[in-house]
Structure 1
Amino acid sequence: MSEDGHGLRELGYKQEFERTLGTFHTFAAGISYISILTGTFQMFYFGFGMGGPANWWSWPMVFVGQLMVALSFAELSARYPVAGSIYNWSKRLGNPHVAWLAGWMMLVASIVTVGSVALAYQITLPQISSVFQFVGDGTGEYDAPVNAVILGSVLILFSTLVNAWSTKLMARINSAGVFIELVAAVLLVVLLAVSAVRGPSVVLDTAGKGSGHDLGYFGAFLVGSLASAYVMYGFDTASSLGEETVDPRRNAPKAILRALVASFVLGGLILLFALMSVRNINAPELSSVGLQYVVLDVLGPVVGKIFLVAVAIAVTVCILAVHTAAIRMMFAMARDNNLPAGSLLAKVHGKQKTPVVPAVVVGLIAVLLLVVNIGQPQIFQMVTSIGVILIYVAYLLVTVPMLIARLRGRWPGEGAPSGGFSLGRFGLPVNILGVLWGAGMALNLAWPRSEVYNPTPPYHWYLQWGAFLVVGVVGLGGFAYYWFVLRHKTGVLAEHAADGS
């Protein structure tokens, strides 16, 4: 029994994927899901609009909280580097019911994220050239929403074809894109830094955003912190490719932590120097256009558009990574017969060694979700925000069972691999902090704020309370289907079971 396959056999699965991914491939998968340029360029306007320049402090705050979660995940990835990591980790730590709910929420959230990230093309490509504005001139009521669906659908089609064709091709494109993204991020930091017109004390400027909030600026800061929370997740993708990674027990933990740390450092510096270099810190475009405006304002149209091309590349590889993670989750749950048509969804193509059907299903659903954005952008915004909440809840369905196992003395347990990543005696406090952070941020994300879930007319109570309503429907409705239908036939499908299982 090979070292790579040990975790699979322990979980009852046989090796079906090709192990072709190296250290940089797994690191690239994690960092492209987080995607420094995609997330910061897509969410800067919101954070600045809600919290002003001082909202910058939400970036290190979210990093510290997510680092507690990532450290726990690194321990788990050293033990179980397996597809659908969140689902399988929860299954080992808790019970099949909790695991199904964790996997279901992560799957739904990942598919929603594919659609929401695809919309980032619309706020980047037309800024590069009007050629990319296929519908009208961008000023009409439906010009931007319809054009966003067209651009996003093309991107999702590309991602579907690549993911269905070859994991190796996906990894090569993703790694090349991440390399370009990292180089562009470093250059952007340098150019913004040398163009600074004010000092770093700008991050102490609240811009009067606390007025009107019951909690003063702290209330505004909590809202603005969602911009950072919407970016810094997905690092577990490195482990979800564990069945396709060489030496995954050593590579996956390193990839998880390196992806998060690199994203924090580069993203934090970009945000800081953007605030220091923009010529007019009170420009209304900062709260509407965002970092795209800063880049063009500071670097000029020629250099600025070159960096926007790098942002478009980052969006592309981000979609590839999110799509890949959703496929692995769908495959992992299906081979346990925990999804409808499990045998079909869990089938690995004999020649390409990829789960083709999940790639297509995820792509189709994501495109259908995009269509909602045409006539109901508020509903789509609500759904995408809720997708992030589902991910934080799915993370909790791993960290909470892990904490319970620690308190009961069942972690790491017998047979824990030696020489792998371990927190040792720091494991319990890190785990506790990860649970507290995850619960607090999930509540902050879901809180019924009109500025998040119903910012423009028409105002409806069900939009403002949409997070609780939709999370409840997805969670309770999905679990009811599992409880009454799927749980009676769950179990590793014979064609995927390890020999002797």
Structure 2
Amino acid sequence: MSTASLDQASAVDLHGFGYVQQLSRRVGTYASFAAGFSFVSILTTVFQLFFIGYGFGGTLFFWTWPVVLVGQLAVALCFAELAARYPISGAIFQWARRLGGSVWGWFAGWTMIIAQIITLATAAIALQVVLPMVSTKFQIIGDGSGTSGAENAVLLGCILLAITTALNAFSIRITAIVNSVGVTCELVGVALLVILLFSHAHRGPGVVFHNSVLSGSTGYLTPLLMSALMAAYVMVGFDSAGELAEETHSPRSVTPKTIVRALIVSGIGGAFLLIAALMAAPSLTDGNLSSPTGGLPYVLTSVLGTTVGKLLLIDVAFAITVCTLAVQTAGARMIFSMARDEVLPFSGALRKVSPRFHTPLLATVVPGVGAAICLVVNVKNTSLFLGLASVCIMLLYIAYLMVTAPMLVSRLRGGKLADGADEAGKPLFSLGKWGLAINVVAVGYGLLMAINLGLPRQAVYDPANTGWYVHYLPLLTIVATFGIGAIAYAVKRGAYHSTVSVEAHAMLGALDQA
């Protein structure tokens, strides 16, 4: 069957859920993988947050990486089952409302929107970690000392947001191409960086078994739980392939695979990058690895030299750009999907798709503007912005739980996902007899990590002792997110009715009755 015929069949499939094909199907298998991989973006987040993991756990923090990978893989496998059966934009919202009901789904989608907007800001601001090290010309404001570093970070971030907003608004095809090229460059960059660091190693791979920071007097559990936040920050966003389901060729077949593949590739690549960095670091005890101005960029430039180091940093800057682009794409599709169901304030404007560009223009602009507003916080209070960066990941974990938890409840009640065939006539992705066990791991891990992320610890959220409001930012953010969400929901509740289709009811059986 030709691509055009498959796309027509996918449009008919989408109509079965009660939606008309408005977005343009321009995303292939590799671009779908790129959407998830570039959101995770190990070059962006590992470079940005390496110092956090090492600062709390030393060399032993490496072992938090495989633990988080296994936990998130369980989540990704659950998502893959749902992606095969619900190839609809706004994946978390669409899945959660079918699993837990209309109100449950609305709050999952709302939480995801807030998390994506803050994540977008934290991705864009990462340019400040890299570009001034490439050239001082990128330090446009001041010399990086005092508040000039924070101000310059906001300027670079806003410039990047303007670029990604324009790309997302005017062409999904160009966005997909940029994403695919960027991911290719990132994959090559990670492989090259690992090889170069291995070739300049000062110690063997056994370094991950050594203990450079922790001791019996400090304890091990609490520092390692805090160092695990670094891996938790990195390995999110693999579900972005699901956000582009309505723009993907053969989504029932492609999306489940690319969700899982994006996480696995990111996990393996990130593990090698961490080992290589620990092996090549000039020193494990001089404080540079745990410094916000040091970390992985310090290892790169000090070990590989200025020229090679800067070339690789340029690749990192490109990865940051593509990561920002992917996060904004996902956020725009979530807003569009919820607005299309008339559940957001100003839904009429937010759901409009440009007849010329086949993209939801206003839904694309909103996360860009929201992220820019978040960036402004960094000018006067960098501690508050760093706190927000941590909180956004907690919100993502809560949104994921709002999918996996009702899915587990359904399984325990005997509900089953319907069998069926994808666009190629093959059976839909299924976990089979392993479904319950994997679902239990997904919920258990997600709950524990959400609590770990949300604990109001001063060492994590307020190391500079800025104020109580930063210390308790996780709790304040949860209250604000759901409080404002309740107001927004109340405004639209008269128009919000469950639109779960007859087909979806048949798929999940008694699940939708819960």
Match of 1:106 among 87, 93, 112: 112
- Alpha-carbon distance in 2 for matches of 1:167, 1:481: 29
Judge conservation of contact 1:389–1:442 (CA < 8 Å) in 2.
yes
Judge conservation of contact 2:212–2:284 (CA < 8 Å) in 1.
no
Q: What residue identity is the alignment partner of 2:195?
A: V
Match of 2:457 among 436, 449, 453: 449
Judge conservation of contact 2:25–2:246 (CA < 8 Å) in 1.
yes
- C-alpha displacement at 1:206, in angstroms? 2.7
Query: In 2 relative to 1, CA 345–37 (structure 1 residues): closer, same or farther, beyond 3 Å?
Result: same
Judge conservation of contact 1:7–1:80 (CA < 8 Å) in 2.
no
Q: What residue identity is the alignment partner of 1:313?
A: F
Judge conservation of contact 1:177–1:313 (CA < 8 Å) in 2.
yes
In structure 2, the partner of 1:95 is 101
Deviates more, 1:442-451 or 1:405-414: 405-414
- C-alpha displacement at 1:6, in angstroms? 5.2
Deviates more, 1:121-130 or 1:1-10: 1-10
Match of 1:469 among 473, 476, 492: 476
- Alpha-carbon distance in 2 for matches of 1:148, 1:333: 32
Judge conservation of contact 1:33–1:322 (CA < 8 Å) in 2.
yes
- Alpha-carbon distance in 1 for matches of 2:28, 2:229: 33
- C-alpha displacement at 1:171, in angstroms? 0.5
Please give the secondary structure, in 2, of the residue aligned with 1:124.
Answer: helix
Judge conservation of contact 1:206–1:217 (CA < 8 Å) in 2.
no
Can you list the C-alpha shifts for 1:222-256, whole angstroms capped at 9, x where unaligned?
00110110000100100110000000111101111
Quick check: 1:134 aligned with 2:137? no
Task: Provide TM-score, normalisation by structure 2.
Answer: 0.92
Can you list the C-alpha shifts for 1:210-230, whole angstroms capped at 9, x where unaligned?
5664xx111100001101100
In structure 2, the partner of 1:67 is 73
Q: What residue identity is the alignment partner of 1:239?
A: G
In structure 2, the partner of 1:167 is 172
- Alpha-carbon distance in 2 for matches of 1:492, 1:170: 32
Quick check: 1:428 aligned with 2:433? no
Query: In 2 relative to 1, CA 403–138 (structure 1 residues): closer, same or farther, beyond 3 Å?
Result: same
In structure 2, the partner of 1:314 is 319
In structure 2, the partner of 1:191 is 196
- Alpha-carbon distance in 2 for matches of 1:472, 1:436: 23
Q: What residue identity is the alignment partner of 1:451?
A: A
Match of 1:305 among 302, 310, 314: 310
Can you list the C-alpha shifts for 1:253-298, whole angstroms capped at 9, x where unaligned?
1111111011011111011011001121223221112100001111
Can you list the C-alpha shifts for 1:41-63, whole angstroms capped at 9, x where unaligned?
01101111111011011111100
In structure 2, the partner of 1:279 is 282
Match of 2:124 among 112, 118, 126: 118
Unaligned runs of at least 5 residues, structure 2 = 1-6, 504-514
Match of 2:214 among 209, 212, 220: 209
Quick check: 1:221 aligned with 2:189? no
In structure 2, the partner of 1:478 is 485
Unaligned runs of at least 5 residues, structure 1 = none
- Alpha-carbon distance in 2 for matches of 1:80, 1:67: 19
Judge conservation of contact 2:168–2:175 (CA < 8 Å) in 1.
yes
- C-alpha displacement at 1:481, in angstroms? 3.0
- Alpha-carbon distance in 2 for matches of 1:476, 1:423: 36
Match of 1:355 among 352, 360, 377: 360
Identity over the aligned pairs, expressed in percent?
44
Judge conservation of contact 1:84–1:331 (CA < 8 Å) in 2.
yes
Q: What residue identity is the alignment partner of 1:450?
A: Q
- C-alpha displacement at 1:361, in angstroms? 1.4
Please give the secondary structure, in 2, of the residue aligned with 1:105.
Answer: helix
Can you list the C-alpha shifts for 1:57-108, whole angstroms capped at 9, x where unaligned?
1111100000000000011111111110000001111101000000000000
Match of 2:342 among 337, 342, 352: 337
In structure 2, the partner of 1:182 is 187
Quick check: 1:41 aligned with 2:44? no
Root-mean-square deviation over aligned CA pairs:
1.7
Can you list the C-alpha shifts for 1:378-433, whole angstroms capped at 9, x where unaligned?
11111121111110000000001111111222220476866121101111110111
Deviates more, 1:193-202 or 1:221-230: 193-202
Judge conservation of contact 1:403–1:432 (CA < 8 Å) in 2.
yes
Q: What residue identity is the alignment partner of 1:475?
A: F
In structure 2, the partner of 1:438 is 446
- C-alpha displacement at 1:479, in angstroms? 2.2
- Alpha-carbon distance in 1 for matches of 2:477, 2:498: 30
In structure 1, the partner of 2:4 is none
- Alpha-carbon distance in 1 for matches of 2:37, 2:167: 19
In structure 1, the partner of 2:510 is none
Task: Provide TM-score, normalisation by structure 1.
Answer: 0.95
Please give the secondary structure, in 1, of the residue aligned with 2:316.
Answer: helix
In structure 2, the partner of 1:375 is 380
Please give the secondary structure, in 1, of the residue aligned with 2:355.
Answer: coil
Q: What residue identity is the alignment partner of 2:388?
A: V
- C-alpha displacement at 1:37, in angstroms? 0.3
Quick check: 1:403 aligned with 2:411? no
- Alpha-carbon distance in 2 for matches of 1:179, 1:279: 29
Judge conservation of contact 1:91–1:99 (CA < 8 Å) in 2.
yes
Match of 2:496 among 486, 490, 500: 490
Q: What residue identity is the alignment partner of 1:44?
A: F
- Alpha-carbon distance in 2 for matches of 1:467, 1:21: 36
Q: What residue identity is the alignment partner of 2:404?
A: T
Q: What residue identity is the alignment partner of 1:229?
A: A
Judge conservation of contact 1:336–1:490 (CA < 8 Å) in 2.
yes
- Alpha-carbon distance in 1 for matches of 2:216, 2:141: 39
Judge conservation of contact 2:458–2:465 (CA < 8 Å) in 1.
no
Judge conservation of contact 2:202–2:280 (CA < 8 Å) in 1.
yes
Judge conservation of contact 1:162–1:169 (CA < 8 Å) in 2.
yes
Give the count of matched residue pairs. Answer: 489
- Alpha-carbon distance in 1 for matches of 2:16, 2:48: 41
Q: What residue identity is the alignment partner of 1:195?
A: H
Please give the secondary structure, in 2, of the residue aligned with 1:4.
Answer: helix
- Alpha-carbon distance in 1 for matches of 2:241, 2:434: 23
Deviates more, 1:325-334 or 1:273-282: 273-282
Please give the secondary structure, in 2, of the residue aligned with 1:122.
Answer: helix
Deviates more, 1:462-471 or 1:386-395: 462-471
Query: In 2 relative to 1, CA 224–302 (structure 1 residues): closer, same or farther, beyond 3 Å?
Result: same
